[in-house]
């Protein structure tokens, strides 16, 4: 009588390649990932996996590369309902004359919930498993995140001026902390404080934010040095750049997640580097709004942690971190005339482990290692568009696209299966989005 000594697992995923994004940047060939519930419990050769484990779900993904789930480190997901609404405009015109008036007319809890569902569906199909958000009505974003099972860090947004959501900085913070208390025990949801930008938040509000950040050990997520106008406006009002102003206020530090950082003088860069600030590079949005191109080479030279973001669909038109990886790798080569800068594995790390470090979640996600959460994506490299594939990492960054994302798991649960969203009605989501389009285009 034989004895079955195999260990039980939930899922076994075998693939031609696994890029771990671990400290050694290991690329494993013909390996398997063993998942039990929400965690990775083993990485083992395909030749040995079924001698040791049995599982309910088994995937054999030949000619696929598995990476950690991609992390969108700067987003405003509900703004997907404004995708294409005000294209080809500079940031201040775009914000003041189009986006903010449209938000005043339309943004409410329903808008945010339905816009978030649209965005999260797009991100799952694009291989994004975690997003870092900044927007109004965070309860609605959290509801969408929970319903779709997407990992999120949701910002407690703060502005000096009133919106449909809140009236002043104190009101924003009170509502934000009520939201945080409600969702603090939800496994997939974490929070940060999210002052919009230096030009829209006062010194008084920043002092409040800094106090709460330190007391509650919360990250601060902000737009910073996105445009030349922002810097000139700060110098006119305060006599110093926004980074120098925030440094004087105690905001600059390792808990800061600074989106954009397109325009940096030597003093600004030195402040960011000495304080180990986390930078989020948003190449598509910066180029589309004509804001400029961040000097990532100088940031890398200062050993700053750089992750990738899309910003909103209203300033990008796609929540596609694979596209941001490719653009980041190409832009640094083109602007420096140094093709060896930002090789493929580093671009992938910007989209995975670097984002996890910025969010303070790198003990849970961002790399494929034992005891980490099973946030994984499988990308098909067998497409005619990807042939021939001499180096799977180069193929992934330079040849593949989000349409090659075949499978997505978050917390061990499958969310995309053979390119089809699991338990989501794509036609219904599309129709709801079109109904918003009909309303919005009338203004």
Multiple choice CATH, 70-358, 3.40.50.1110, 3.20.20.140, 2.40.110.10, 3.40.50.1980: 3.20.20.140
pLDDT band (50, 70, 90) for residue 64: very high
Say whether pLDDT at 20 is over 90.
yes
pLDDT in tens, 36-58: 999 999 999 999 999 999 999 99
pLDDT at 251: 98
Query: For the residues 7-28, what does the mean pLDDT come to?
Result: 98
CATH number given to 7-68+367-411 = 2.30.40.10
pLDDT at 91: 84
Q: What is the pTM (predicted TM-score) of this model?
A: 0.98
Say whether pLDDT at 2 is over 60.
no
Mean confidence (pLDDT) of the chain: 97
The 3-class SS string of the chain reads CCCCCCEEEEEEEEEEEEECCCCCCCEEEEEEEEEECCEEEEEEEHHHHHHHEEEEEEEEEEEEEEEECEEEEEECHHHHHHCCCCCCCCHHHHHHHHHHHHHHHHCCHHHHHHHHHHHHHHHHHCCEEEEEEEECCHHHHHHHHHHHCCEEEEEEEECCCCCCCCCCHHHHHHHHHHHHHHHCCCCCEEEEEEECCHHHCCHHHHHHHHHHHHHHCCCEEEEECCCHHHHHHHHHHHCCCHHHHHHHCCCCCCCEEEEECCCCCHHHHHHHHHCCCEEEECHHHHHHCCCCCCCHHHHHHCCCEEEECCCCCCCCCCCCHHHHHHHHHHHHHHHHCCCCCCCHHHHHHHCCHHHHHHCCCCCCCCCCCCCCECCEEEEECCCHHHCCCCCHHHHHHHHCCHHHEEEEEECCEEEEECCEECCCCHHHHHHHHHHHHHHHCCC
| CATH 3.20.20.140 domain locations along the chain | 70-358
Say whether pLDDT at 346 is over 60.
yes
pLDDT band (50, 70, 90) for residue 1: very low
Query: For the residues 293-319, what does the mean pLDDT come to?
Result: 97
| CATH 2.30.40.10 domain locations along the chain | 7-68+367-411
Say whether pLDDT at 225 is over 90.
yes
């Amino acid at each position: 009588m034989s004895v079955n000594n195999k260990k039980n697992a939930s899922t076994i995923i075998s693939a031609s390649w696994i890029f771990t994004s671990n400290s050694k940047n290991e690329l494993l060939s013909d390996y398997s990932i063993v998942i039990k519930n929400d965690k990775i419990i083993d990485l083992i050769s395909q030749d040995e996996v079924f001698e040791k484990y049995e599982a309910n779900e088994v995937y054999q993904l030949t000619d696929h590369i598995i990476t950690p789930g991609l992390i969108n480190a700067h987003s405003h997901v509900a703004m997907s309902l404004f995708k294409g609404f005000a294209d080809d405009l500079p940031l201040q015109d775009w914000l003041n004359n189009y986006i903010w008036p449209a938000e005043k007319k339309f943004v409410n809890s329903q808008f945010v919930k339905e816009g978030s569902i649209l965005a999260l569906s797009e991100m799952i199909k694009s291989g994004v498993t975690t997003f870092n958000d900044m927007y109004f009505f965070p309860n609605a974003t959290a509801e969408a995140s929970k319903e779709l099972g997407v990992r999120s860090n949701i910002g407690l947004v703060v502005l000096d001026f009133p919106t449909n959501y809140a009236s002043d900085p104190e009101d924003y913070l009170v509502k934000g902390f009520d939201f945080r208390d409600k969702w603090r025990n939800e496994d997939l949801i974490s929070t940060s404080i999210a002052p919009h930008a230096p030009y829209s938040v006062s010194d008084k509000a920043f002092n409040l934010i800094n106090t709460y950040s330190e007391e509650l050990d919360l990250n601060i997520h902000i737009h910073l040095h996105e445009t030349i106008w922002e810097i000139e406006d700060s110098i006119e009002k305060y006599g110093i750049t926004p980074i120098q102003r925030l440094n004087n206020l105690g905001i600059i530090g390792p808990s800061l997640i600074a989106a954009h950082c397109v325009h940096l003088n030597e003093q600004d860069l030195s402040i960011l580097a000495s304080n180990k600030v986390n930078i989020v590079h948003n190449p598509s949005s910066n180029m589309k709004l004509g804001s400029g191109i961040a000097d990532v080479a100088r940031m890398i030279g200062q050993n700053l942690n750089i992750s990738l973001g899309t910003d909103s669909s209203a300033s990008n038109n796609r929540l596609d971190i694979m596209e941001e990886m490719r653009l980041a790798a190409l832009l640094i080569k083109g602007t420096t005339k140094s093709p060896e800068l930002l090789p493929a594995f580093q671009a992938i790390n910007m989209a995975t482990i670097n984002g996890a470090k910025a969010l303070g979640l790198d003990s849970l996600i961002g790399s494929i290692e034992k005891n980490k959460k099973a946030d994984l994506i499988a990308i098909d490299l067998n497409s005619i568009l990807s042939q021939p594939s001499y180096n799977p990492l180069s193929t992934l960054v330079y040849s593949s696209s989000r349409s090659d994302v075949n499978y997505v798991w978050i917390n061990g649960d499958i969310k995309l299966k053979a390119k089809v969203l699991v338990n989501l009605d794509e036609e219904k989501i599309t129709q709801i989005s079109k109904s918003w389009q009909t309303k919005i285009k009338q203004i």
